[in-house]
Structure 1
């Protein structure tokens, strides 16, 4: 007779989802695969059948992944910002405006209620601050808030998968030479090495750099928890993803703080990122899967069509703008769109496709801009 303790059962479910996810992710169709992002898809199924995990698990995974990405991209961040900063800001604005216009079209032409359409948009953009801003805009109506949540619940998992597939499909459709594209990203980043300190010896608090990871996460969460009021609009915060990302970038760029060496061994960063993805995808997937079928059956599958349009119109137009107008390298354009639509899973997929974490500095540049944009956009759309 098989007897498993409840805590052990949770661990079993977690790693069973991960194992099945890697199996699904290894399957290729026309050279495209989901990779570790397939864990999210498998978790959706498990979530539908009642499997759930503590919210802290998902948050832990997210901060492990995003802080590790920041640390590894830190050395190239300043050069990337100096070279393409204006283009990234304009791309974020364009992405928010184009999505807003589609959302207004869904409201006006398709007759979808404004709160539901706004929920679809926040799910399509996978933006938690935008979702919170949309709910706040209708705080006086429980029915409207429920519609926002329904739209977000429908589109969050679908929007995530669409963007993961997008960043994998584009290089193949363009027939990209990935070695050439990687060289462009590295050249554009103008990676700077930490300056020497004139012979003074630095010391490390631990040999591998786990102190730096822990400090980046702790300080990042504190930074992300700071709420900045936006008079007449609402409030803004970096949250648990933006905060650790920026602190990780700062530590990765500096390389040391006074006599303390804060570098992290490269052989540690990659496993930590992958573990973070396992935790994040299982938590987010099971959470989304719990209500996905119920919401679709209640509101109709046609909402998915509108939601998918809300994903692909800004993505496609924004990427075309990055290439034709701003002349950004392909990988920088894809990273800018991942950041502009605040999607960490598509960044993870892009890192796998690109074979370099240099793209993360572009994501980090556009991400906080996109967060502010979406908070403001939700307040404007509420009055449409």
Structure 2
């Protein structure tokens, strides 16, 4: 994030004091010319510190989420599946997608949240955006495309719950192009923190990373999957927070790591050396490793009585972003994020229906045994 000069900081203070002040009045108070004030205002607008005409200032702590939104369907077979014929099932529909889940979790935690995505101009797309809007997410920059289908994923499960078939229609994500970034740039540049998932095409991720220095935001990215993490550029400069698991790290780096804390530490260190300012790397019951400039810390998993693991990783990301944006240290933010992830496993929903700051505070006692260990 570019640092403000003393003059730019003074100009923003004047605008906060009186958003309707004229440029000549500001020039006289600052002891510079009116054209100089105009030039500074233009640069501050381009970098997201001012939202266009009227000197409207962006809200502090706003998070903008960019990425996939999906309709998830599960079909649980009542009897063992038989190929080539009709099978009785119990059908369930829910809303999913890494970015969508993160956005909903953030809003429930009280973070001012916007969402940039693409859906079809169909019933699924309309219901998905309406649900997010009702949760408090700003979907003004989500686009409904008339000739596209809202993304869907369907899981066909054996009576035991084991996945028999997984089918996905994600073609609409190809429409999340660099042009979309340009169109939404004022909202992106003015955010305090931007989160994107690797459902975005490689060229869109590259555009977002390249344009990051021209905004006021910190950039967080989640790998999503082992195939999709390869959409990230080889140089990770410009990524402030990189979320991924050990398998995704191995796929990106083209290396094999032991499935233990030492392997997690090594993978996170390689990614940090590749340019990511901080790496948050998970590996199931082994917990999370946080690697940043001040060293590497292991955070154990928070004990839970899991019902469904769906959405736990997205909840952990949202919790981390929520508390990090509120000036918690990264390690403390990840600990609270890990708690929210564990709480999410104790419900059948991908987003905990009771999630709120009060709910998190009521469960902070569960962190007593997970202070984390600093690794060399």
Structure ranking higher in helix proportion = 1
Q: TM-score, normalised by structure 1?
A: 0.22
TM-score normalised per structure 2:
0.23
Q: Which has the higher contact order (CA 8 A, sep 6+)?
A: 1
- Bigger CA radius of gyration: 2
